[in-house]
Amino acid sequence: MTMIADNLQSVRTRVQAACRACGRDPAEVALLAVSKTFGPEAVRAAHAAGQTAFGENYIQEAVDKMAALADLPLVWHCIGPIQSNKTRLVAEHFDWAHTVDRLKIAQRLSEQLPAHRAPLQVCLQVNIDGGPTKSGVAPSDALTLAREVAQLPNLVLRGLMTIPEPAPNFATALAVHRQARALFDQLCAAGLALDTLSMGMTADLEAAVHAGSTMVRVGTAIFGGRAHAAAPG
C-alpha cells in the first residue's frame, strides 16, 4: 500500500505545481481522494499517508466502507447521483453531498438529517457544458436553486460542483472550467456565501486549478485504474 502514499504525494505535487504556475496559494485547493470501487484497506493506506477527505459515488458501497473504517476520523463526500430513495442514507452517513441538483433532493436531505449530526455540507451540481443526458442544474437555474437550498435548516450550501465532458486538451478543459468559475463568482456576487468550487479530476486537475477550483476530486491518480468504468453523474 506504499504505492498509495507515493501516488498521493505525486498528486499533491501536481496540485502545488498547478497553483504555482498560476499564482495561487496551494492552501486554497483541497484534495478529495475518490475511493469508489476500492476497499477499506486502500482508504486506510491513504489515511496513513495524511488524507482525511474521501469521495464516494455508490451510496451503499460507501456506507459499508464507512462501517469498516469507523475507527478513523474521516470526512465523507457523496459525489455520485442521489435518487430520492437514497437521501436518507446520505443524510445519515455523509458529511458532504456534492451532487444536489433539485430542490426536492435538498429538502429530503434537510428533513432526514439525524438530530445528532452536524449540518450536511452541500454543493449544487451544475451541468456546465450542457450535456443532454447529464445530471446537474442548468447554469441559468443555479442562482434560483442556490437561494432555495440556502434557506433549508439542516444544510449548509458551500458551493458548486461540475463534471464536464472529458476535454481533448488543456485549453478546452480550461474554457469549460472558467465558465464554472464565472458562475460561482456570479452567485457570490449575488450574496450567497460560497467557498467551494468542486471541479477537476485526474485528467484535468491542472486546468481546474488554473480556472479557480477549490477542491479537486482525484481517484485514478491515487488508487489506480478501476476495474469497471464508473458512470459519471
Ligand X SMILES: *Cc1c(COP(=O)(O)O)cnc(C)c1O
Q: What is the binding site for ligand X (CB under 6 A)?
A: 34, 36, 57, 79, 163, 201-203, 217-221, 230, 232-233
Residue closer to ligand X, measured from CB, 45 or 154: 45
C-alpha cell at 85: 430513495
| Pairwise CA distance, residues 56 & 76, whole Å | 7
Question: Do 11 and 220 form a contact (C-beta atoms < 8 A)?
Answer: no
List, in order, residues 6 or more apart from 150 with CB less than 8 Å away.
157, 192
User: Smallest distance from the beta carbon of 116 to ligand X, in angstroms?
Assistant: 28
Residue closer to ligand X, measured from CB, 163 or 207: 163
User: Nearest-CB residue to ligand X?
Assistant: 219
C-alpha cell at 68: 469498516
Residue closer to ligand X, measured from CB, 131 or 191: 131
Given the DSSP bridges, would you call strands 155-162 and 120-126 parallel, antiparallel or unpaired? parallel
* DSSP 8-state secondary structure symbol assigned to residue 187: H
| Pairwise CA distance, residues 166 & 144, whole Å | 28
User: Smallest distance from the beta carbon of 131 to ligand X, in angstroms?
Assistant: 13
Q: How many CB atoms lie within 10 A of CB 68?
A: 13
User: Smallest distance from the beta carbon of 123 to ligand X, in angstroms?
Assistant: 11
User: Smallest distance from the beta carbon of 8 to ligand X, in angstroms?
Assistant: 13
What is the CA angle 107-109-115, rounded to 5?
115
Residue closer to ligand X, measured from CB, 54 or 154: 54
User: Smallest distance from the beta carbon of 57 to ligand X, in angstroms?
Assistant: 5
Residue closer to ligand X, measured from CB, 112 or 202: 202
